[in-house]
Structure 1
Amino acid sequence: MKILLVEDDQKIGRFVEKGLRENSYTVIWRRTAREASDSLSESGFDLIILDLGLPDGDGIELLRTWRNSRFDEPVLILSARGSVDDRIQGLNIGADDYLPKPFSFEELLARVRSLFRRKGTAKKTSLEHRGIVMDLLSHSVTFHGEPVELTNREYSLLELFLSNRGRTLTRTQIGEKIWEAHYDMQTNLIDVYVRKLRQHFDQGTDGPSIIKTVRMVGYVMPQ
C-alpha cells in the first residue's frame, strides 16, 4: 500500500514516516502543497495523509482543488486545528477522516487501517499468484496456506512484483520504488532481496522461478 504523507514539520514527518514504514507501508513524504500535487499527478496512491498548515498554502484549499480535479484517494487530515467546526469543514470539503494533533501513532495506524478497509470494499485487498496470497490489509503472506515471515523490504518487493506481473521492472524502477533516494545503483542489494524471495517461494516447485532475471535490464514475475 502506497501512502502520500504531506507534512512540513520535520519531527512529525519523520515520526509518521518511520512508523508507517515499520508497518510495511510505502511512504512518499512531501513537505509542501506544490510537491504534494506534483507527486499526486505523477503517481497513484492508496491513501493521503494531509497536514493543513503547509508553508505554501492551506491544506483545506489544497484538498478542495484535488477533489475538484477528480482525485478520489482517501484523505486523512492531521491538524492542530481541532475544533468541531474545523473537523466539520475538513470532512465537508472531502476528507475521509480527521485526526487532531497531538496524536499517538497507534491511533493514526488504526485510522489508516480503517480507511484501507473501507476502500477495500471497492478495491482488491489481496494479491494472489502461484500459491502466494498477500493480504494487503493485515500485511500477511501465505504460501500454499502456510504463513511466510518476510522483512518489510521483502514484503514491499514482493508486493511490487505481484502488482506488476508480466511486466519487466528495471533495476532503476525497483530501486526507486523500494529504496527511493537511499538506493545506490552500484550495489547488488536488489539481487540479494530477489534471491531471498526465490528462497521463500521457489522451494518445492518444479516450474520456473517465481521471479525471472531479464539480462541487462532487471526482473519480471511471469504471469
Structure 2
Amino acid sequence: MKILLVEDEIKLAGFIADGLMHAGHVCDHIADGNKGLETAMVNNYDLILLDLMLPALNGFEVLKNLRNFNNQTPVIILSALNDTENVIKGLDFGAIDYLKKPFDFDELLARVRAVQRRSLAHSTLKLQVSDLHIDLLSREVCRAEKPVILSNREFSLLEFLVSNSNKVITKSQILEKVWDINFDPGSNIVEVHLYQLRKKMDRGYNEELIHTVIGRGYILKGEVKKG
C-alpha cells in the first residue's frame, strides 16, 4: 500500500516509515498539518496515518478538511491524546481507527493489514494474466506454475502493471504509485527495476509480458483472468 504518515516527532516517524517500508509498503512522511493536508489532497494514498498534535494545523482539522473535500482515504489516528472524548471525536470526524501512543509496532502493522484486507475485499484478491498468477494477500507470484521471487518494490511494481494490464503506464504514474513523493523524477530507478523485473518475469518464456512503448511508457500485455 501507499501510505502517508503525518507525524511531527521525527525519530518516531523515521521508525514507523522504515518499518512500513520493510513490510513492503511505500511511505511518505510529512511533519506538519498544513503540508500533510496538501499532500493528501494532491496525491493518491491507500492509507493515512495521522498524528493529532501537529504544528500549523492539528490532526482533527486535517481530518475534517479531508472529509469536507470528499477525500475518503482511510485514516488511522496515532496520538498520545488517549482519553475517550478524543477517541470518539476522531472516529466521528471520519477516522477508521485510533491507536494510542505509545504503541507496539506489530499492532500498527496488524491494523494496517486490516485496512488492506478491507480494501482487497472490494477488489480481486488473485490476479492472472496469461500464465502469470499473483496472490495479493500472500504476495506470492508464479509464472507457468513456477514461483517467482520478487523484492517488495518489484512486487509493488508488478501489481501496478498487472492492475493496469493492456494499458500504457507512464514513468510518472509508476513513480507516483510505487515510489515516494520525494523521489527524483529524473532518476533511472524505474528503468532499473523494470529491467530486473523483466529478467525474472520474461526470460526463458516464449511470451513476453512486459513491453516498452517508446516515448510513452510501459505496458503489461496478456489475457486477463480474475480469480
Same fold (TM over 0.5): yes
Give the Cα separation in 1 of the matches to 2:19 and 2:8: 17
- 1:73 deviates by 1.7
CA contact (8 A) 2:48 2:74 kept: yes
The aligned residue for residue 185 of structure 1 is 186
After TM superposition, the structure 1 stretch with the greater mean CA deviation from structure 2, 211-220 or 44-53, is 211-220
The aligned residue for residue 41 of structure 1 is 41
Alignment RMSD, CA only? 2.4
CA contact (8 A) 1:113 1:137 kept: no
Give the Cα separation in 1 of the matches to 2:99 and 2:175: 33
TM-score (norm 2): 0.84
Higher-RCO chain (CA-CA 8 Å, sequence separation at least 6) = 2
Q: Which runs of 4+ in 1 moved over 6 A?
A: none
Give the Cα separation in 1 of the matches to 2:73 and 2:126: 18
Q: Using the aligned pairs only, state the percent identity.
A: 39
Give the Cα separation in 2 of the matches to 1:83 and 1:146: 52
- 1:57 deviates by 1.3
After TM superposition, the structure 1 stretch with the greater mean CA deviation from structure 2, 195-204 or 90-99, is 195-204
Pairing 1:170-209 to 2, within 5 Å after superposition: 170-175=170-175, 177-180=177-180, 181-183=182-184, 185=186, 187=188, 189-207=189-207, 209=208
- 1:203 deviates by 4.2
Aligned residue for 1:73, secondary structure, equals coil
TM-score (norm 1): 0.85
Q: What one-letter code is carried by the residue in structure 2 that aligns with 1:193? A: H
Q: What one-letter code is carried by the residue in structure 2 that aligns with 1:185? A: G
Deviations 1:154-206 (A, max 9, x none): 1122123223333333445444554443457365x433322221222224532
Q: What one-letter code is carried by the residue in structure 2 that aligns with 1:113? A: R
Aligned residue for 1:54, secondary structure, equals coil
Pairing 1:103-182 to 2, within 5 Å after superposition: 103-175=103-175, 177-180=177-180, 181-182=182-183
Deviations 1:100-129 (A, max 9, x none): 111121110001001221233334444432
Query: Per the alignment, do residues 216 and 119 of structure 1 end up closer, same or farther by CA in structure 2, a change over 3 Å counting?
Result: closer
Q: What one-letter code is carried by the residue in structure 1 that aligns with 2:210? A: I
How many residues were matched structurally? Answer: 221
The aligned residue for residue 213 of structure 1 is 212
Query: Per the alignment, do residues 216 and 70 of structure 1 end up closer, same or farther by CA in structure 2, a change over 3 Å counting?
Result: closer
CA contact (8 A) 2:49 2:78 kept: yes
Give the Cα separation in 2 of the matches to 1:119 and 1:176: 19
Deviations 1:131-155 (A, max 9, x none): 3333333333333444322112211
